[in-house]
Amino acid sequence: MTELSARRALFIVDGRLQASIPVSDRGLAYGDGLFETARFKKRYLPAWRLHLQRLMRGAEVLGLDIDASLVERNLDLALDFAEEHQIRDGIVKLIVTRGDGGQGYIPLEKSVPRVVMTVREYQPLQLVRPESGDAGSVELVSCRYKLSHNPALAGLKHLNRLEHVLAARSASLNVGQQGLVFDKDDRPVETLHHNLFLIEGSSLVTSDLSLCGVAGVLRRAILEHFAPAIGLSVKVEHLSSDDLVAANEVFICNGVHGVTPVTRWQECRWQEGHLTRKLMQCISERWNCFYDG
């Protein structure tokens, strides 16, 4: 267990337990690659298919020749290591870069992607727990840095994340707070690490991510499966701050922490609403209590 205790994480590079990558990797040089961050419990990853689909869609945009079965084999290996090190509730972060080579920005015609896995223990989201005894929620704090528009890369989980780092640096966040990120036209897009959903009547609304933002796997599962399953209609559109103010319920979600109610942003206060709770129950039932406890 030395590797785990020393670094609090296990690193696997191209199938080998190894904590470093070559300086010449294009992931370092240019952010030329993609990543996924998935939660697992024992060997159960309910959203894995969605992670893999997003990865492969990103690979198509970047022209990365990723072999899905190789990724699967690396995941299996990561889960083996997790078992060996008794990580039962963990996070696996997968990075696939374009590997080495090329002439500056111009990649080799036949590059060999590098697969990097990081495995660590799950850490729960820090929540605000109001006296009411609710399950817990978060508050949103606006980031001052605004995302630019980039239709070609929007939605993808690529390695060019400086804008999110700058957004993170532009908010000062306390325990239980998440940074709300806006685009250059002042439209709320997402939080630093989650997608944003509003409930208006019996409609579930989330931001259109065709210009910026990251399209999360749980966002997709909610839009395609969980919301319809509880009778909510879904809308994907560019949101305004007014939409946020007017919402009956607000929540954020990601594949690691599931759905988390939002109870505060600036002057706004929301209850942990019953539709959000119904959605959480639906996810819990279909995904074997994955996000519970």
Judged by the rule CB under 8 A, the positions of this chain that interact with a copy of itself are 7, 9, 11, 13, 18-32, 35, 61-63, 95, 97-98, 104-107, 116, 118, 145, 148-153, 158-169, 173, 179, 192-193
Strand, coil or helix: 31 = coil
Handedness of CA 130, 132, 137, 139 (dihedral sign): negative
d(CA 93, CA 78): 10
- Distant-in-sequence, close-in-space partners of 129: CB < 8 Å, separation ≥ 6: 136
Shortest Cβ 56–a copy of itself spacing (Å)? 17
Shortest Cβ 204–a copy of itself spacing (Å)? 25
Shortest Cβ 152–a copy of itself spacing (Å)? 6
Shortest Cβ 102–a copy of itself spacing (Å)? 8
In terms of CB distance, is 133 or 151 closer to a copy of itself? 151
User: Residue 197: how many CA atoms within 13 Å on its side-chain side?
Assistant: 33
Shortest Cβ 165–a copy of itself spacing (Å)? 5
d(CA 61, CA 66): 12
d(CA 45, CA 212): 27
In terms of CB distance, is 121 or 134 closer to a copy of itself? 121
Shortest Cβ 259–a copy of itself spacing (Å)? 18
In terms of CB distance, is 144 or 274 closer to a copy of itself? 144
Shortest Cβ 284–a copy of itself spacing (Å)? 25
In terms of CB distance, is 188 or 223 closer to a copy of itself? 188
Place of tokens 């988390």: 260
In terms of CB distance, is 111 or 207 closer to a copy of itself? 111
Place of tokens 């400086």: 162
In terms of CB distance, is 9 or 230 closer to a copy of itself? 9
Beta strand pairing call for 195-200 and 203-207: antiparallel
Strand, coil or helix: 170 = coil
E strand spans, 66-153: 89-97, 114-121, 138-147
In terms of CB distance, is 148 or 288 closer to a copy of itself? 148
Handedness of CA 255, 171, 94, 190 (dihedral sign): positive
Place of tokens 């996810």: 283
Shortest Cβ 176–a copy of itself spacing (Å)? 14
In terms of CB distance, is 109 or 242 closer to a copy of itself? 109
Measured at the CA of 51, the angle between CA 257 and CA 11, to 5 degrees, comes to: 80
Q: Which of 159, 29, 154, 46 is nearest to 96 (CA)?
A: 159
Q: Identify whether the C-beta of residue 115 lies closer than 8 Å to the C-beta of residue 106.
A: no
